[in-house]
Structure 1
C-alpha cells in the first residue's frame, strides 16, 4: 500500500528527531586533547612530523597527559594512541569499525597500488586476498615455509664467511630469496636476481611515498587534477615511474613462475598450488579474476615481509655487536642444547629460552615499525568519553608502547632477562610479549608474522652458533662505536654500521660449507 502524506510526514519527523538527537549526543563528548598551535584551515598540518614521528607523538602525549591525542591536518582528522590497552580496545574489541584504511592519493591513486592487502579498505577484496594467503601459509602449515627458511638461512652462512663486511647485503638476499621462492617457486641464487630487484624497487618507491609530508598531494588531494606542466607538480613523474614499476611487479615474476611450471623446474609455491585449483575452473571470467588476485597476493608477499624482516635481523647483529656479554650467554645456551656437530634448527626454538628472550628484546628495543600504517574509523564512535568521528585516521604509536616504562622498566636498556621467568626457563607471563605490538593489531595484524619470526630465529641461531660478532676498529686501532639512530621512513632501519664477524673455528667453517652443499648441488 502506498504511503500517504501523513505517513511521509511521520517518517521525515522521526528521521529529523533521530539526526538531532545524534548530533546533540556528539556535542556531549569532546574530541581528544590536541597540541597547541592549531592554525585556521591548516590545523596542525605544519606541526606534523615528517620523520621519527613516534618521538613527537610521545612528547605530545606527555605534554597533554593523555594517551590519546587528536590532530587536524588541513581538515583530516588524526588520532594518535600511545596506549596498548586503548589500541586493543579499539582495534580488537571494536574491530568492526576500526579495520579500515584511508586511500593514499600518491600510492593508491597515482602510482596504482590500489590492490595491495596492507592498503586495501576492509572489504570483500581484502578478505579474499587474506583468505588466499592464509590458505597456503597459515602458521600451522609449517611444511609450506620452514624448508625454505632453513635452506636460504644455510645458504647465507657461506656468504658471511666469504665477505662478512657485506652482512646487510647477505641478510637482504636471504630474506628476499626465501620470500620469492615461497611465492613463486623459482630458483633464486644470483646476487642480482631480477625478480628480487623489481620487488625491491617497488617497495622502495612505495615506502618513500608513504613518508608523511613527502608529497603534498596526499594532504591536498585536489592537486592530482593540476596540469602536469605547472611548477610543483613533479610528483606526477614520480607517480608515472611508480606505476611502471607496479605493472612489472605484477607481471614479470608471475610470468617467470609460469615458465618454470611449464618446464617442470618450479618448486611448490603459492603460485603453483593456486594455479592447480584455477585450472579446474570453467568460467573464463572467474579464471581471469582468480589469476589477477593470485598475481596481487604473490606480489604483496614480498613487500609485506621483506623490509621489516631483514631490518630486524640486522638489528640483532647490532645488538650482538653492542652487548658481547649477552651474545656470549646466548651462544653458551646454544652450545649446550645444540652442540657443535650440527647447525641449529627450527625445532630447537622451544629449548632455547634465553635466545628467544634476546630476540623478543631485539623486537622491542629496535622496533622496525615505529607507527605503521594508520587504521581508519568507518563509523562515529565514543571511547573513554571522547568523540571519534567517522573517517578519522587512527595511528598506533607502536614505538611508544614498546618503550612504556610502566610495562618495560628502563626501556632504553637492552635486557632480555625482562622476558624470562625467575628460573630463566620460560617466558615471564607477566611481561607483555612485544610481538603482540610489533606486528600490528586486530584484523589488520600481519598475516605472515610467523614466517618472519621463523626467519629471525633461525638466522640468529645459526649466526651465533658459527660466528663471533664484535665491534670494528679503525686503522689506528680505535673502536668504532655503531650509531644508535635510525633512518627516517615508514620502516625504521638502523643506520649503516661496521662490525667484525668471524668464524668461531675451523670446525664451524666446515659445518657451514657442509650444510650449504646440501642445497647447492
Structure 2
C-alpha cells in the first residue's frame, strides 16, 4: 500500500518572506492610508448610470469584503448563484465584482464582447510589485500583452503543440516507470513529469527526479508568486495608496523586491543556457529559441522576453501535476469507469506496447475521461478574473468600467441544466454515437481553460499531456482504495478534500496502486531503454 503525500518539495534558497510587521510606525502609516482611502472613497464615488446585478447586501465602504470566505470562496459563490441568479454583484471596497456562475453570460460577455472584457483585475502585489508588469497571466490588456499573445499563439497552436508530443511520450514513459518502482512517491512523480515536460518544452532541459534544481528552484519562485496572489493577504491590494509608502516602512515591498530579483535571475540563467547552446551550434527545439528569434519582430525588451519564456513554467507545471493527481483520485473512487477505460485500452492498444498519440482517435472513452476530469474537478475552480475597460449593459443591468468579472468555473461546471447530475463523475456525458461531443456552450464540454482572449494559450499542449499520462497510467496500473486496518474494508479518499489556492489537487490520501500484470514491467522497461538511448544521443 502506498501513502501519498502532497507536501511541498524543498524550496530553493530564497530570502524568507517578510512579515507585514506591526511596528508603531507601520501601523500609523497604515491607519493614515485607511483614513485617506475612506475620504477619497466618499469624495470620488460616482452615481451609477443604472442598476447593478443583484447580490448579497454589504456594509458601508467595505461592502462584501467580510462576506467572502477565504477558504474555497467558489463554493459560496455557487450558493449565491442559486440565490441571486447567473450573474451577481459583490462590492469589495471601491471594487465592483461581477461573479458569473453560468456559461451563457460568461460567453456573452467574455467571448462575444472580449474587446472590452479582456483586461485583468489590478493585483498590485503580484503583478505590479512582485512581477513589475512582466508576467503575462496578470498583465492588463494592452499593446505588450497583445504582442506577447500573438507570439505565444505561434508557439502553442495545435500544429505547434503536436511537435512536442515526443517530449510528452518521453516524460510519461519515465512517469509510469517511476510509479511502478516507487508508487509511495506519487506526488513527486507528478511534479517531476509536469516540471520536466515544461522545462523541456521551454528550455530544452529536463529533470530525472523531482528534487533536481532544474525544477525545484522554478517551483520555489512560482510558489512564492502564487502565495502573493491569495485574495486578502496583502492590504495594498485593497488600499492601493499603500503602494506609495516608502519601502523602509513597507515590509511587503521588500518582500516583493526579493521575489522579483530571484525570479528574474533564475529565468535569465535558463535563457542564457539556451543562448549558449545556440551559439555553440547545438539545436534547441524549445520556446525560448523561438522567442529569442522573434524578439525584434515583436518588439520585446530583454526582460520582457525573459519573463515570457520563464513564466511558462508557472502557467503549466502546477496545473498539470494537479490534474494528474485528480485523475488518480477519480480512478480510485470510480472502479467501474477505470475498468471500462482499461478494456478500451486492451482492445485498441493491446498489451505489447504503451499507448501513443497515434491511438488517440480510437480511445474515445479515455478522451471523455480527460474532458470529465476538467469539468468535474476543474484545477482552477474559482476561475481567473477579467476586468472591463468600458461601461457596458447586459440584460438590463449596468456594468461599470473597471468591474472585475469572475467566471466561477465551479458553478459553471455544476450547472444541472448543462450537466445532468453534475456532481456525478460521468465520462459518458461527452460521448454520442461513438464520438466525442461537447455541450451547446463548448465543443470540448468544459471551460477549464478560461474564456475569450484570456483563454489559456497552452491548452493544446495541456490536453495532450493529460491524454498521454491518463492512458499510460491506466494501461500500467490498477488504482484501488486502501484497506482500513480497523475494519478490513476499503477506505476510498474523499472526492471533496482538495487543497486551496490558485490551483488545487486532492489532499493526501492512501491507496493501492499495483501493476496490472507481469507483462507491464517488461514493456515499460523496454520502452524506457529506447528512450534512454535517445537521451544519450541528444546529450540530455
1:359 to 370, 388, 394: 370
Query: Are 1:403 and 2:423 matched, yes or no?
Result: no
* Equivalent residues of 2:206, 2:214 under 8 A apart: no
In the TM superposition, residue 114 of structure 1 has moved relative to its aligned partner by: 1.2
Asked if 1 retains the 8 angstrom alpha-carbon contact of 2:104 and 2:441, the reply is no
Residue of structure 1 in register with 2:236 after alignment: 217
1:320 aligns to 2:331 (yes or no): yes
* SS of match in other structure, 1:72: strand
Deviations 1:270-313 (A, max 9, x none): 222344566xx7xxxx8994544431221121111112111111
Distance 1:346 1:113, change over 3 A: farther
Alignment pair present for 1:332 and 2:349 = no
Answer whether contact 1:43 1:74 (CA < 8 A) is retained: yes
Query: Once the 2 structures are TM-superposed, how far is the Cα of residue 260 of structure 1 from its aligned partner?
Result: 3.4
3-state SS of 1:496 partner: coil
Deviations 1:236-289 (A, max 9, x none): 3432332233222331221232333344555311222344566xx7xxxx8994
Q: Does the Cα contact within 8 Å between 2:409 and 2:447 map onto a contact in 1?
A: yes
Task: Count residues with an aligned counterpart.
Answer: 486
- TM-score, normalising length from structure 1? 0.88
Q: Which entry has the higher C-alpha Rg, 1 or 2? A: 1
Residue 432 of structure 1: CA displacement? 4.9
Q: Could you tell me which residue of structure 1 aligns to residue 6 of structure 2?
A: none
Question: Quick check: 369-378 or 259-268, which moved more?
Answer: 259-268
Contact 2:430 2:445 in 1 (8 A): no
Matched, 1:118 2:137: yes
Q: Residues 379-416 of structure 1, C-alpha deviation per residue, up to 9 Å, x if partnerless?
A: 00111100000011000111100000111111111111
Q: What is the aligned partner in structure 2 of residue 510 from structure 1?
A: 522
Q: Does 1:134 align with 2:145?
A: no
Is the counterpart of residue 239 in structure 1 residue 259 in structure 2?
Answer: no
* Contact kept? 1:137, 1:144, Cα under 8 Å: no
Q: Once the two structures are superposed, what CA deviation does each residue of 1:317-350 show, in whole Å capped at 9, x if it has no partner?
A: 0011001111000000010011111110112111
Distance 2:490 2:156 in 1: 44
Kindly tell me: are residues 296 and 344 of structure 1, through their superposed partners in 2, closer, same or farther at Cα, counting changes over 3 Å? same
Query: Quick one: structure 1 residues 201 and 514, their matched pair in 2 at CA, closer, same or farther if it must change by over 3 Å?
Result: same
Kept in 1, the 8 Å contact 2:375–2:446? The answer is no
Q: Name the CA distance, whole Å, in 2 between partners of 1:288 and 1:357.
A: 41
Unaligned regions of 5+ residues in structure 2, if any? 1-45, 534-540
> Bigger CA drift: 266-275 or 122-131?
266-275
User: What is the aligned counterpart of 1:35 among 52, 56, 64?
Assistant: 56
Mapped contact 1:165–1:498 kept (Cα < 8 A)? no
Output the TM-score relative to the length of structure 2: 0.85
Please tell me whether residue 307 in structure 1 is matched to residue 318 in structure 2.
yes
Q: What CA distance in whole angstroms lies between the structure 2 residues aligned with 1:374 and 1:102?
A: 6
Residues 215-248 of structure 1: CA distance to partner in whole angstroms, max 9, x if unpaired?
1211112223335566xx5433432332233222
Shift of the 518–498 alpha-carbon distance from structure 1 to 2, 3 Å rule, reads same
Secondary structure of the residue that 2:227 maps to in structure 1?
A: helix
Deviation at 1:143, TM superposition (A): 4.3
Give, in whole Å, the separation in 2 of the partners of 1:181 and 1:314.
21
Partner of 1:458: 468
Bigger Cα displacement from structure 2, 236-245 vs 391-400:
236-245
Structure-2 residue corresponding to 1:260: 277
Distance across 1 between alignment mates of 2:51 and 2:66: 23
In the alignment, structure 1 segments of 5+ residues that lack a partner are 1-22
Residue 488 of structure 1: aligned partner: 500
The separation in 1 between residues aligned to 2:209 and 2:422, in whole angstroms, is 41
Q: CA RMSD in A?
A: 2.3
Q: Secondary structure at the match of 1:321?
A: helix
Q: CA deviation at 1:142?
A: 4.0
Q: Please tell me whether the aligned partners of residues 91 and 98 of structure 1 are also in contact (alpha carbons under 8 angstroms).
A: yes
Mapped contact 2:438–2:445 kept (Cα < 8 A)? no
Asked if structure 2 preserves the Cα contact closer than 8 Å seen for 1:198 and 1:245, the reply is: no
3-state SS, counterpart of residue 367 of structure 1: coil
C-alpha contact (below 8 Å) 1:111/1:240 kept by paired residues? yes
SS in 2 for 1:472: strand
Q: Matched residues in 2 for 1:440 and 1:244: separation?
A: 30
